Chains A and B, each alone.
Chain A
Amino acid sequence: MTKILEVKNLNTSFFTHLGEVQAVRGNSFTLNKGEILGIVGESGSGKSVTAMSIMGLIDHPGEIKSGEIIFNGENIAKKTNKEMSNIRGKEISMIFQDPMTSLNPVYTIENLMVEVIQRHKRVSKKEARRLAIEKLELVGIPEPAGRIKSFPHEFSGGMRQRAMIATALSCDPKLLIADEPTTALDVTIQAQILDILKKLAKELDTSIMIITHDLGVIAETCTKIIVMYGGLIMEKGPIDEIFYNPQHPYTIGLLNSVPRMDVEEKGRLIPIPGSPPDLMNPPNGCPFSTRCPRVMQICKEEPVPTFKVNDNHTSACWLLHKDAPEVGGFAKGSEIID
């Protein structure tokens, strides 16, 4: 497995005039070629900021405080905006949540796509156009040669999202980040978009990072999951591990709060009570301590280390410490990494 991206201890904050908002407080993870990684969490958990940090799109008053983002052997966290603009759209691409507003309404799709292609490749306009049509076909837009001359408002929501994906793919990036790609779309269109993403990973070996709050999307597409809360990674691992062997109360809470078709008995949905922490004054210990049903005193006082559950599965919960009380389902006594 070739490593495409390695994030080491990423810390990103926003220095507003009211104080420092610590959006990401020390994330570390890796992504390999052809993998689809899902980052799941509530609003404010830091998942979008992680993605924007990787892209170098964190703007004043925010900045990457510390940490490394290793892509293609280089630490891109330190690159200037100008340097990053060479990477964005070419090596790493990103698509966003709302397709209705994410395309410039006064230019044609052709104009927008050719611009991106010619920015990163030395090709003629004709060649760029051909490449654009090719990508539109790849994402399933009918009659791409004709439709490329349309304006964004002439496309439906699903088509616009596909056009965005096509643009993002136009220069064959190694990594595609998708921030809530299906949230604003109908369920049927959702499925189609997710299919496209899966196809990309399989056929072109593109690594994909999907950010979402929807566990269903994760279950459908991802091979690896990261669960974030309060700016920190709570748990990460392969999809089967996370779904069938969750080792963090927050993950368990999330799984319980989603209606599932594979559960026989019709139990109640259990929401997680409380609200997310204030990132200007993050709590000392585990960010989930204020809402955790199994909170211990140490959880409120000491920052939680990362415990290794097994080969690819880690979790940041004090319940995994050898001194913690025995709780059913939790692999107490796991090794500490960190």
Chain B
Amino acid sequence: MSNYESYSKGVLYMSGYYARRIVSALITILLISSLTFIMMHAVPGGPFTRERPVPDEILRTLNEKYNLDASYFEQYVDYMKGLVTFDLGPSYSKVGTSVNDLLISGFPISAKIGLMASVLIVVLGIPVGIISALKQNKPIDYLVMFLATVGVTVPSFVMATLIIYFFAGKLNWIPSFGVSDWRGYIGPVLALSGYSLSFVARLTRSSMLEVLQQDYIRTARANGIREFKVIAKHAVKNAMIPVVTYIGPMVAAILTGSFVIEKIFALPGLGRHFIESITNRDYTTIMGMTIVYAVFYIIMIFLVDIAYGFIDPRIKLGKGKA
């Protein structure tokens, strides 16, 4: 077929591919929110069962306010309506605050730390992996791989506590909690990125090693391309393909890691609110934040899929979904 035909067929395929992914994502979101709703309301005793019994008057007012007397189904519809309008309802335990408020207050810090961690992972992990591959079996390679193995096996919360103990407790280089000054970001970012940074370094290295064995690298050299360009242009782009695939799980790791990291470093972010809501059995907040996390994750995966299509042209024309 002519180039034009294959190109337009490709576009159609791709838009079909994306359309299906969007629909799939929406279905997932619907399922997750319904699931969360069911689970929260399956808890016996209702949301106001506490150790200390709540006086009847207040209980009645609260039930009215939160529409808990209405039927199950009505509550479900209410909630779904709220979701579509991005209204996640009020917080049960923090009376007077809405879930949206909590989200907005916690977002900046979590976003900053998450973003910094992501940037660190990409900016440090990938080059380190490449260099390690180029200097395979030399001392620098062994050092890097050792550190990376440690980083992958030591859980993030253990790393966080180690960082606090040594750098805050013993050396006093960073504060042991909070982000009152810029140095307070170092600990959380390091602890949060530790695992993924090490993983990306290892992945990049093994991917580079495999790519460097490929025939097309030999072809490039045989055609006289300068060594630097052989590595930087021909090898790296191919080596990045599996690394891009990891970004999805990386986002998940950073998301879930933030729960623990924010608790340990006492940062007022989304993660900490989430943990608090769990401890307090604040069901609306738990529901709302779970859905927010899920949606965010789904969007990130979707973006990664698009990026993947730009790097590897082979998936464009009917090579099948992964």
Contact = CB atoms under 8 A, between A and B. Distances in A.
B224 A89 contact: yes
B317 A104 contact: no
Contacts of A107: 234, 237
Interface stretch (A90-98, A124-132, A185-193, A321-329): A90-98
A96 B227 contact: no
A72 interface: no
Given A150-B3, A151-B314, A81 B218 contact: no
Contact of B312 (A57, A85, A87, A106): A106
Contacts of A94: 222
B224 A90 contact: yes
A70 B317 CA distance: 48
Nearest to B223: A89
Contacts of B234: 104, 107
A182 to B, nearest CB: 16
B181 interface: no
A96 B311 CA distance: 26
A115 B223 CA distance: 10
Nearest to B3: A146
B216 A103 contact: yes
A61 to B, nearest CB: 12
Contact of A119 (B216, B218, B226, B317): B226
Nearest to B235: A104
A153 B235 CA distance: 17
A300 interface: no
B3 A168 contact: no
Given A89-B224, A146-B2, A149-B3, A101 B237 contact: no
Given A106-B238, A153-B314, A101 B216 contact: yes
A82 B227 CA distance: 8
Contact of A104 (B220, B224, B226, B227): B220
B225 interface: yes
A8 interface: no
Chain B interface bracket (under 10, 10 to 19, 20 to 34, 35 or more): 20 to 34
Contacts, number: 86
B223 A106 contact: no
A102 B3 contact: no
A115 to B, nearest CB: 7
Interface residues of A, number: 36
A86 interface: yes
B219 A164 contact: yes
B218 A93 contact: no
Contact of B224 (A101, A116, A164): A116
B221 to A, nearest CB: 6
Given A101-B215, A104-B216, A57 B3 contact: no
B215 A98 contact: yes
Interface in A39-84: 55, 57, 81-82
A88 B312 contact: no
B247 to A, nearest CB: 18
Contacts of B3: 146-147, 149-150
Contacts of A154: 6, 317
Contact of A102 (B218, B229, B233, B238): B218
A167 interface: yes
A167 B218 contact: no
A3 interface: no
B139 interface: no
B314 A105 contact: yes
30 contacts: A57-B221, A57-B222, A81-B227, A85-B225, A85-B226, A85-B227, A88-B221, A88-B224, A89-B225, A93-B222, A96-B218, A102-B215, A102-B218, A102-B219, A103-B219, A104-B219, A105-B238, A105-B313, A106-B237, A106-B241, A106-B313, A107-B237, A115-B229, A115-B233, A116-B224, A116-B225, A119-B226, A146-B2, A153-B313, A164-B219
Given A93-B223, A164-B219, 17 more contacts: A85-B225, A85-B227, A88-B223, A89-B224, A89-B225, A96-B215, A98-B215, A105-B238, A107-B234, A116-B223, A119-B223, A120-B224, A147-B3, A154-B6, A154-B317, A167-B219, A168-B223
Interface of A: 55, 57, 81-82, 85-90, 93-94, 96, 98, 101-107, 115-116, 119-120, 143, 146-147, 149-151, 153-154, 164, 167-168
